[in-house]
Amino acid sequence: MDIVVFGAGSLGSLVGGLLAREHDVTLVAREDHARAVRESGLRLEGAINGGPSRVFPVATTDGAGLEAALAVVTVKSFDTASATETLATGAFDAILSLQNGMGNEATLAARLEAPVLAGTATYGAILREPGVVECTGRGDVVLGARAGESSALADRVGEAFVAAGLETTVAEDMPRRLWEKLAVNAGINAVTALADVDNGAILEAPADDLARAAARETARVARSRDVDLSNRSALAALESVATDTAANTSSMRQDILSERRTEIDAINGYVVDCAAQAGLEVPMNRTLTTLVRTWEGGRDLR
67 with 118, same domain: the answer is yes
Structure confidence at residue 264 (pLDDT):
98
Range of the domain at 62: 2-172
146 with 183, same domain: the answer is no
Q: How far apart are CA 100 and CA 190, in angstroms?
A: 13
167 with 211, same domain: the answer is no
45 with 110, same domain: the answer is yes
Structure confidence at residue 298 (pLDDT):
96
Say which residues have a Cβ less than 8 Å from residue 169's Cβ, sequence separation at least 6. 140, 141, 142, 143, 158
- Which is the catalytic residue, given 33, 76, 146, 181? 181
Query: Is 76 part of the annotated catalytic residue set?
Result: no
Please, are residues 252 and 202 in contact by the beta-carbon 8 Å criterion? no
Structure confidence at residue 167 (pLDDT):
95
Please, are residues 57 and 25 in contact by the beta-carbon 8 Å criterion? yes
Query: Strand runs (DSSP E) across the chain, as ranges?
Result: 2-6, 24-28, 42-46, 54-55, 58-60, 67-73, 91-97, 116-121, 124-129, 132-137, 141-145, 168-170
Structure confidence at residue 47 (pLDDT):
85
Structure confidence at residue 216 (pLDDT):
98
CA separation (Å) from 237 to 81, 134, 187, 213, 302? 29, 24, 10, 14, 31
Query: Strand runs (DSSP E) across 214-258, as ranges?
Result: none
The answer, yes or no, to whether the previous bond of 206 is cis (omega within 30 of 0) is yes
Q: Which of residues 172, 201, 233 is at a domain's end? A: 172
114 with 186, same domain: the answer is no
Q: How far apart are CA 252 and CA 250, in angstroms?
A: 5
Residue-wise DSSP of 111-126? H-SS-EEEEEE--EEE
162 with 193, same domain: the answer is no
pLDDT (tens, 9 = 90+) of the chain, 302 residues, equals: 999 999 999 999 999 999 999 999 999 999 999 999 999 999 999 988 777 899 999 999 999 999 999 999 999 999 999 999 999 999 999 999 999 999 999 999 999 999 999 999 989 899 999 999 999 888 899 999 999 999 999 999 999 999 999 999 999 999 999 999 999 999 999 999 999 999 999 999 999 999 999 999 999 999 999 999 999 999 999 999 999 889 989 999 999 999 999 999 999 999 999 999 999 999 999 999 999 999 999 999 98
19 with 136, same domain: the answer is yes
CATH code for the domain in which residue 29 is found:
3.40.50.720
Structure confidence at residue 49 (pLDDT):
77
Number of domains in the chain: 2
113 with 241, same domain: the answer is no
Q: What is the rounded end-to-end Cα distance, in angstroms, of the chain?
A: 38
255 with 161, same domain: the answer is no
126 with 266, same domain: the answer is no
145 with 282, same domain: the answer is no
140 with 195, same domain: the answer is no
